[in-house]
Amino acid sequence: MTEQDQNKTKKQVPLRLSKTLFDELSAWAQDDFRSLNGQIEYLLTEAVRKRRKKDV
């Protein structure tokens, strides 16, 4: 399996959030025209990208 194929493979992860955090993320996702899942994935991807930049 190539790296590109691995990036397309999605893993399911159970996630527990407080109601407050869930509501905040849901509103933010709606503002950005994303699903809640898409918003969480976007935020995590950005956090990892920023961390990689910092470590270089």
> What's the mean pLDDT in 10-19?
95
What is the rounded CA–CA span in Å between residue 23 and residue 13?
19
Q: Which residues contact 39 (CB under 8 A, 6 or more apart)?
A: 25, 28, 29, 32
pLDDT per residue as tens digits for the range 15-53: 999 999 999 999 999 999 999 999 999 999 999 999 998
pLDDT of residue 4 exceeding 80: no
End-to-end CA distance of the chain: 27
| Cβ atoms within 10 Å of 29's Cβ, excluding its own | 18
pLDDT at residue 2 in the model: 72
pLDDT at residue 56 in the model: 73
CB 19 within 8 A of CB 9: no
The model's pTM: 0.78
